[in-house]
Amino acid sequence: MSTTTTVTVTGMTCGHCVASVREEVGELAGVSSVDVDLASGRVDITSEAPLDSDDIARAVSDAGYQVS
Ligand SMILES: [Cu+2]
């Protein structure tokens, strides 16, 4: 049973930004997929278990962006 967590990320401007967010968030334990919509900043994260929002925020921050 997987769960999807949606967050909005600000500061992404191009495909490189998208790739950075996808990579960092994808490294969180249990994450199986990360879908990023550049235009809206919407990030859908699929994982085996519910994710801690602080962990997501930290991963996004590590990539150089912010969860709004
Ligand atoms: Cu970019």
CATH code of the domain containing 51: 3.30.70.100
Structural domain range at position 45:
3-67
Q: What is the pLDDT of residues 5-34, one digit of tens each?
A: 999 999 999 999 999 999 999 999 999 999
Q: Which residues surround ligand 1, an ion (CB under 5 A)?
A: 13-14, 16-17
Question: Mean of the pLDDT values across residues 59-67?
Answer: 98
pLDDT for position 1: 82
Instruction: Report the domain count for the chain.
Output: 1
Distance (Å) from CA 1 to ligand 1 centroid: 33
Query: Which of these, 47, 51, 66, lies nearest to 3 by C-alpha position?
Result: 47
Query: Which of these, 1, 65, 7, lies nearest to 36 by C-alpha position?
Result: 7
Question: Mean of the pLDDT values across residues 43-49?
Answer: 97
**pTM for this entry:** 0.94
Q: Label residues 4-17 b or e (16+ Cβ within 10 Å = b).
A: ebebebeebeeeeb
Residues in a beta bridge with 4:
46
